[in-house]
Chain A
C-alpha cells in the first residue's frame, strides 16, 4: 500500500494551488487515485493558505492526517512552522528562504524569521532550504518559485512523482509561452539543491 501525502503551505498569491494541481495531474497519469483540498476564498487575500494533495491507495479523506505528510513544501518559513505537525517523523521539508511579514507583525505580533529557521533546523531531520530569489533571478521571473520548490521535492523521491513526470505535467498544465522558463527553473533547482 502506497499513500503519498504532500502538504503545500504559503501565503495567498504565492502559487500553491498551481503546484498542487501539477502534483495531482502527474499522479493521475500514473493511474493513481488522487484527492486534494485547497484553501479558496477569503484566505487568499494575503492570508495563510494550505493545499493537501493525497495520491495512491486507500485514500478517503481529502485532508491529510497530522504526522502523515511525507513532504511539506513551504513557500514561507513561518508557514512551514505553522504546518509542521502534519509532517511524518521521517518526512522532508522543502522551504523557501524568504519570510513574508504578516501585517500583524507590524502591530505588536512577534515574527522573527531567524527564529523560524532555527526551529525548523532543530525539529526537522530532512530540511532543504531553497533560495527562491536566486532561482527566480536566474529565470528572470518571480513566478517560478512554486515550480522550483516542486522540482526539489520531486527529486527527493518522497513525492508521488519524479522530475520527468513533473516536466510532462508542466507541458500539459501551463500555457506554452511559459514552458521554457519553468523547465529552466526545474533544471536549475535540481542541479543546485540535490
Chain B
C-alpha cells in the first residue's frame, strides 16, 4: 500500500524498516519531523537529547553496542555534532549508524545557508542524497547496510524541499535485525594516537573502496536522451531539472554524493557535447569534475544563493522562459513571521526595549525580538552564543557597558549550550545578566519536550531540570524568577540585576501561549477611553492594528492574554468573554 509521506516521515519509515532500535536527536527545522515520526514506532527507543553532540554520541554508543542507530539534525546541528563525527569516522561502527542532516537552502528557518556536503569530504564519510520521499525511505534503508558493509557512519543529506515535500512511499515490513554481540575492541574504539594512526590508514583504504562502489552502485543512475547536453545533478535539483528539461537532455543522477565516482562521470561527459552541473549552494560536484580535468558548466550559469526552481534551470540551459513572465506590478507589504498573540516573550522584549538595553540574542522564537516594533535584539549568532558573546562584549567594553547589557536565551537553548557560557561568566568573574526565557517548551520547532519540561519525547514523566537550582549550582548567587507579564515588577528586577556588581540570572517564566495547558479566555477590546496614544502598538501584537486612524483589536486573533491591558496608560482596554 502506497502512502503519502513527508520526506522526513519517509526517512523515519526507512529507519523503522531497517530494524533501527535507537534514535537520538535535537530538534531543528527542517529535520524535526524525522524524529517525531520515529516516535510512532514503539519498537524504537527515541529521545530528544540536550544538544546534537550528545545526540550523536548516544547514537554512536548504540552502534558500538551492536544496534542500528540514527541521529537527525539541521545543518547547523551538524556543526555542534562535528567533534564526535570526525572521530566516529575512524572508529567505524558495529551496528549500522546513520546521521541525517537537513540543509536549508533559501534559509526558510535558519541563520546560515551552509552546504553540509563539505562535512562528508572533511570527515571522510559516505553521503547519500535522496530526491523525494520514496528515495528518502529507500536510501535510509540502504544506508544502514552500507554503513555495516563499509564499517563507516553514513550521512544522509536532505534539504528543506525534500524534507517538507510529500510523495508516495511504498511501505514494507520491518527487518528483524539482531543486536550484534558486544566485543571489547580497544584498537578500534579507543582513539588515542597509537590506535588512531592505524585507523586513519583504514579510513583511507575504505574511501578507495567506496569510490569503486560509487562507480557501480544503483544509487547513481544514468539516463541517456541526447548526445548534445548532459546534466549531472542530485537531490531536489534532479527533480527540478527533470521537470524543466524532460527528455531533451541526458542525466547522471548522483544518489551518492560522497565519495563521487570518477569513471562514471568521465564516461558521461565524453558522451555529451556540453555538460551542466546542477546543484544548489556550493560547487561540490563541479569542483570534483574540474579536478578530474573535465570541461563542465556550473556556477557560471547557476547561483550559489538560495533554492532553485524548474524555471531557473530552463532559463540557464535553454535560455527559455517557462512562460511569459507577467510580473506582479502591485506592492504588497512583506508578511514576516511574528511572535504569536499571547507570546510571553513579547512582554520581556517590551521591557528591554523600554530600558534601552543592548540585547545579546539567541536561537528560538525570541529571535523575532529583533523585528519592529520591539526591535530589541542586537546580535544572534548560534545556539548558546547569547551568553558567551555577552561576556566577550562586557570584557571588551567594561563594566559600565555591561550595566546596559543582557543576554536572552530560551529554556531549551540554555540547556543546549547556554549553561557552558554561564559557567564561563562565573569562572571568569563576569558581571553579566542572563535572562532565561522559560516558556516551558521548545517553541520554534513546534513544541518538543526538553530536559526542563519534565516529560520525555514519548510524554512520559521524568526528572525535570530546575533552572533556578542549576544556575545557583554553577555559582550564580543572584537568581530571580519572575513573570514578564507583570511588567512593573519585571522592569524593576531587570534594572536591579543589570546594576548589580555580580553575575545574575533572571528566569522569565510564563508558558508558550500555544501550549494546550495554557487557557487564556475571552478577548480584549478597546473602549471609548482610548486616547489614540498607541502605546499598545509598541507591543507588535498581530491582533492589534490601526484601521481608519483608530486602534482596533481583531477578535479572531486575540486570545485574551491581557498584556495590552497592562501597557495601556488610560485603562482603555477591557477584557470581554
Interface of A toward B, CB cutoff 8 Å: 11-12, 24-25, 28, 33-48, 59-63, 65-68, 78-79, 81-82, 84-85, 101-107, 109-111, 115-116, 119, 142
Contact = CB atoms under 8 A, between A and B. Distances in A.
Contacts of B164: 37-41
A24 B339 CA distance: 30
B246 to A, nearest CB: 8
B297 to A, nearest CB: 22
A84 B556 CA distance: 26
A104 B108 contact: no
Interface stretch (B349-357, B365-373, B420-428): B365-373
5 contacts: A36-B165, A45-B339, A61-B244, A61-B310, A106-B540
Given A103-B338, A115-B330, 14 more contacts: A33-B168, A38-B165, A41-B108, A41-B445, A45-B339, A47-B336, A60-B240, A61-B242, A65-B311, A65-B323, A79-B335, A101-B545, A106-B373, A110-B331
Interface of B: 2, 4, 29-30, 33, 108-109, 132, 161, 164-168, 236, 239-240, 242-244, 309-311, 322-328, 330-340, 365, 368, 372-373, 444-446, 537, 540, 542, 544-547, 554, 556
A107 B373 contact: yes
A68 B323 contact: yes
Contacts of A63: 161, 165, 240, 309-310
Contact of B325 (A40, A61, A66, A103): A66
Given A28-B168, A106-B537, A43 B333 contact: no
B322 A11 contact: no
A28 B333 contact: no
Given A60-B243, A66-B325, A35 B132 contact: yes
B162 to A, nearest CB: 8
Nearest to A88: B323
A45 B166 contact: no
A81 B337 contact: no
Chain B contact residues, majority secondary structure? loop
B167 A35 contact: yes
Nearest to A119: B330
Given A41-B109, A66-B323, A85-B327, A102 B334 contact: yes
Contacts of A85: 325-328
Nearest to B30: A41
A111 to B, nearest CB: 5
Contacts of A142: 556
Quick one: which of B2, B167, B242, B339 has the most chain A CB within 10 A?
B167
Given A85-B326, A106-B537, A11 B165 contact: no
Quick one: which of A34, A46, A84 has the most chain B CB within 10 A?
A46
Contact of B328 (A48, A81, A105, A109): A81
Given A36-B166, A42-B337, A65 B309 contact: yes
Nearest to A25: B4
Contacts of A109: 333-334
A67 B109 contact: no
A151 to B, nearest CB: 21
